[in-house]
Amino acid sequence: MDDDDPIELRGAVDDDAGVPAWERRRRVVRWVALIALLGMLLPTAVGTYSMAVTTAEKSCRIAVDFYANERTPSRVAFELLSADALGWNCYAVAPSGDVLVAVLGLIPGAPKLVSRTLT
C-alpha cells in the first residue's frame, strides 16, 4: 500500500503497542460480549442451583419424617462419584453416622416413599 491510499485502507496502527486499531477494538468488543453473556447466565445458574437445593432439602425432610421420626436431623448432598446414588442424596443423621434414606436424582423432586412393613 502506498502513502496515497486512504487511511481506512492503510490499517491505522496504535503507536503504543504496534497493534492495528481495529484489532484492539475487536478485543474490547469480545471482552464486553463475554462479560454481558456471563451477566445474563450467572443469575440464571445461581437461581437454578438455589431452587434445586431448596427442593432437595424439603424432599429429604419428607423422606426422613416418613422413614424415621420428625426429630431426626436430615442432610442433603449432591454427589457425582457414586454410580448407585448419582445426583442429590438424602441422609438421616444418626449418632453412629449418616444413613442414606433416599436418592432424589439429578433434578430433585418428590421422593418415592415405599412402606417397609412386611406382610
Q: What is the pTM of this model?
A: 0.68
In the three-class reduction of DSSP (H, G, I as helix; E, B as strand; rest coil), residue 63 is classed as helix
The set of cell numbers assigned to 46 is 445461581
Give the domain extent around 84: 21-105
Angstrom distance (rounded) from CA 104 to CA 111: 6
Mean pLDDT, rounded, of the chain = 84
Please indicate, yes or no, if residue 63 is contained in any of the structural domains.
yes
Which of 54, 75, 53 lies closest to 64, judged by CA? Answer: 75
pLDDT at 33: 97
Please indicate, yes or no, if residue 13 is contained in any of the structural domains.
no
The set of cell numbers assigned to 76 is 442433603
Please indicate, yes or no, if residue 90 is contained in any of the structural domains.
yes
Please indicate, yes or no, if residue 41 is contained in any of the structural domains.
yes
Distance of CA 52 to the CA centre of its chain: 10
pLDDT at 41: 96
Please indicate, yes or no, if residue 115 is contained in any of the structural domains.
no
Number of domains in the chain: 1
pLDDT at 16: 56
Based on its alpha-carbon atoms, the radius of gyration of the chain, rounded to whole angstroms, reads 28
Please indicate, yes or no, if residue 47 is contained in any of the structural domains.
yes
The answer to which of 58-67, 72-81, 110-119 has the lowest mean pLDDT is: 110-119
Please indicate, yes or no, if residue 4 is contained in any of the structural domains.
no
Angstrom distance (rounded) from CA 4 to CA 13: 17
pLDDT at 9: 62
**For residues 6-10, average pLDDT:** 64
